[in-house]
Structure 1
Amino acid sequence: MKSVVNIIILVLLGNTVGYAQTLDDYFKIAAEHNPGLQAKYKDFEAALQRVPQVSSLPDPTFSFGYFISPVETRVGPQQARFSLTQMFPWFGTLKAQGDAAALMAEAKYQSFVDARNRLYYQMAAAYYPLYELREWKRIEQENIDILQSFKTIANAKFENSNGTMVDVLRVDIMLKDAQTSLGILNNKEKPLLTGFNKLLNRDEDNQVLIMDSLGIETLPDHFRKDSLLTNHPALNALDLRIKASEAREEVAYKQGLPRLGVGLDYVMVGERTDADVSDNGRNALMPMVSVSIPIFRSKYRASVKEAQLMQEGYTLQKQEYANNLTSGYEMVWFQIQQQSDLIALYVQQTLESEQALNLLFSAYANSGQEFEEVLRMQQQLLKYEKMKATAQVQYHIVLAQLNYLTAKTY
């Protein structure tokens, strides 16, 4: 039965092939120009620059010393000293630091992908109300045209003594209500256009192309639920942060190990004038090896513990996010089914209301009575047409939310 209802809706409402292409084009524009999304990508690019910073050796140290009072030696007075030293962290420290930075950069890229998907959902949530507004304006204008024709008929019947002045006043009241509603809808267009255009980072007055019709898809049960917890970039980002914290734990452990240094001292020696000795005034060259002694262990233990706590924190965040995704999916899936059922209902109610209105109007044309019932049925038809347009829009908004939850790729 449900599949039959879906087929009826697809026939009555048309398809969405044209819409998909149009909205995809807007997605591409937003991906290239939205400043918030660009900022996320810059954050990723900046994180990449951390990799060469932390995986490189520290700069060598060069020092120079001049003896104000030369130190006398057998081969002459020492006049100046040049020193060059290079420190080396413990084996594997640089690689671990580079791995941690690379993993954090990859996590930021996954956050960028999640932000892009969220932007697509925000665009859909801003785009479909423009369709709803256009449909409401069209419906309201048709309602005004019908009411004006009703007013003409009511006036004619009153002049021919086949109707009452009350009928004319009733339709005039409803006509003014409809004209006011249409004016309010016209005023609503600018803020909706501004909101959508600003997501594209373009002028607020730019024209937005709206599709001609909306349809619904026949979705299988548990649609894309299998990808809910496997491909979502936010979960991937947390996985990468956990791995980066594990690498940081290794870094913290290795930083608590001795660092090795090698160096070279060059001493300039002056010649002795008071004696003739072998190697007189010969400069001295002295290789050196140094080792740091990390005896203050509290900071290293704290650094290791910090990395472990970060792993636990990211693990808990991942579990919380997965729970939210699961509950969010079930709610969105319910809303999709709800809107699908409502669309089917409103389509049927619209058809029956049109039939009832035609019958009532034919009876009024013959007898000149029950004009109030004609007006009531006209407003009932107007309500169902608007509710159908709203249900179509809500269906596509929650479908866009489902696409975000399941990390649909475009």
Structure 2
Amino acid sequence: MKFVINIIILMILGVTAGQTQTLDDYFRTAAENNPGLQAKYLEFEAAVQKVPQVSTLPDPTFSFGYFISPVETRVGPQRAKFSLTQMFPWFGTLKAQGDAVALMAEAKYQSFLDARNQLFYRVAAAYYPLYELSQWKKIEQENIDILQSYKTIANSKFKNGSAPMVDVLRVDIMLEDAKTSLSILEEKEKPLRTTFNKLLNRDENEVVVIRDSLAPDSLPDHFRKDSLLTGNPMLDALDLKIKASEAREVAAQKQGLPKVGVGLDYVLVGERTDMDLTDNGKNVLMPMVSLSIPIFRKKYDAAEKEAQLMRDSYVLQKSELENSLLSNYEMAWFQIQQQKQLLSLYEQQIQTSQQSLNLLLTSYGNSGKEFEEVLRMQQQLLKYEKMKATAEVQFQVALAKLNYITAKKYEHENR
């Protein structure tokens, strides 16, 4: 079963192992190992097994009777009787039942595909926070290193008498804050890593390879919106359920028609000893035809009505799903555009803050004054660098959600 899933995933991703990127590898691992996805596939396989159950003739009936008091006939007493009967439903009934169940099985397969897409989104949504954490740790460590250099400068200035001791104390305070922040970030890694690894159904301490950098994809306006309602597994599943309900309605109508039975009776007859007759003791062979009369119509009418109501329900569910997909698409697209604008803003703010910080450091080196402003600008630069990392992650998570909504594969390029 796992081999079948692997083949399906490889076909869906449309890539080979040598060409995949890191996150695509994680998608494949999750698809192979995630128990929830495997359970969905087993539901599909189980549904397929229902087809022969409803499209096969009922078992023939065999009966045996023994005459305790033999029935006397002209050619001898009847001793025992064997009967074999086969019932045949009305023409097309088995096919209609098989079609309905087969269509529902196909709908289960579409549910499996949607579960696969949803799993990929969950993997991506768990992967990118690990990237954000990695970036924040790197930024915080760089901040500590810079503050250490500031402390060295402030100490030197204090010893030279060109700056007060309070500058050194200010750096110490910020250093303690930065070290505590870094310690908290270190502790945060374990729950994030556990969440990610459990989606892949592997050991919680397994190493997760994180990319060094992210860059927002260049997406055209209304990206994939024109194909939003085509090829979506959830919509396809509802289409199949509508067709299955129509097949069930046909099956219910045919089940309300007579069923024909064909049978054969074989009667054992004993010989008469009181006279000599032609065919004395000859056994009897009697073909039979039977016909069921479906006069109790309520159950057939109810089954037909049930199929009609379920068809109408699936039609309404499809309409509701289309509305939901459209609104979710617009929200995901807004989030993508929002993060692109924020990234542009943060990059500009980082550049301006770095320039301001360089000027302040030069001024402090010359005058030994306004060290507090240097530290404030350093914290501002730290804030914008962290916000940029967060915006990069939010962009990728929103894109992953858009990929799920549009039921398209996740594409990652080397950056």
Same fold (TM over 0.5): yes
Question: What is the deviation of 1:375?
Answer: 0.3
Query: d(CA) in 1 for partners of 2:237 and 2:355?
Result: 56
Equivalent runs, 1:171-320 vs 2, <5 Å: 171-320=171-320
Query: d(CA) in 1 for partners of 2:211 and 2:125?
Result: 15
Letter in 1 for 2:276: D
Calculate percent identity across the aligned residue pairs. Answer: 75
Letter in 2 for 1:95: K
Give the gaps of 5 or more residues in structure 2: 1-17, 411-415
- Of 159-168 and 387-396, the range deviating more from structure 2: 159-168
Equivalent runs, 1:358-369 vs 2, <5 Å: 358-369=358-369
Query: d(CA) in 1 for partners of 2:26 and 2:36?
Result: 16
Runs of 4+ in 1 over 6 A off after TM superposition: none
Query: d(CA) in 2 for partners of 1:204 and 1:44?
Result: 29
Question: What is the deviation of 1:409?
Answer: 3.1
Query: d(CA) in 1 for partners of 2:82 and 2:397?
Result: 72
* Aligned 8 A contact 1:249 1:304 in 2: yes
Query: d(CA) in 2 for partners of 1:300 and 1:242?
Result: 20
Query: d(CA) in 2 for partners of 1:131 and 1:19?
Result: 22
Question: What is the deviation of 1:160?
Answer: 1.8
- 1:3 is aligned to none
- 1:56 is aligned to 56
Query: d(CA) in 2 for partners of 1:278 and 1:127?
Result: 93
Question: What is the deviation of 1:315?
Answer: 0.6
Question: What is the deviation of 1:27?
Answer: 0.8
Equivalent runs, 1:326-341 vs 2, <5 Å: 326-341=326-341
- 2:400 is aligned to 400
Query: d(CA) in 2 for partners of 1:230 and 1:118?
Result: 17
Question: What is the deviation of 1:162?
Answer: 1.1
* Aligned 8 A contact 1:35 1:201 in 2: yes
Letter in 1 for 2:111: S
Query: d(CA) in 2 for partners of 1:394 and 1:325?
Result: 20
Letter in 2 for 1:66: Y
Offset from partner CA, 1:122-176 (integer Å, 9 cap, x none): 0000000110000000000000011111112112211221111211111111110
Query: d(CA) in 1 for partners of 2:65 and 2:32?
Result: 57
Query: d(CA) in 1 for partners of 2:184 and 2:191?
Result: 12
Query: d(CA) in 2 for partners of 1:52 and 1:179?
Result: 67
**TM-score, structure 2 normalization:** 0.93
- 1:107 is aligned to 107
Give the gaps of 5 or more residues in structure 1: 1-17
Secondary structure of residue in 2 paired with 1:83: strand
* Aligned 8 A contact 1:87 1:259 in 2: yes
Determine whether 1:79 maps to 2:79.
yes
- Of 390-399 and 162-171, the range deviating more from structure 2: 162-171
- 2:127 is aligned to 127
* Aligned 8 A contact 1:19 1:211 in 2: no
Query: d(CA) in 2 for partners of 1:36 and 1:228?
Result: 26
Secondary structure of residue in 2 paired with 1:376: helix
Equivalent runs, 1:15-34 vs 2, <5 Å: 21-34=21-34
Change beyond 3 A, Cα 1:174–1:213: same
Query: d(CA) in 2 for partners of 1:305 and 1:63?
Result: 37
Change beyond 3 A, Cα 1:130–1:380: same
Query: d(CA) in 2 for partners of 1:374 and 1:19?
Result: 47
Letter in 2 for 1:323: N
Q: CA RMSD in A?
A: 1.2
Offset from partner CA, 1:355-377 (integer Å, 9 cap, x none): 11010011011111000000000
Change beyond 3 A, Cα 1:64–1:99: same
Change beyond 3 A, Cα 1:19–1:269: closer
Question: What is the deviation of 1:351?
Answer: 1.0
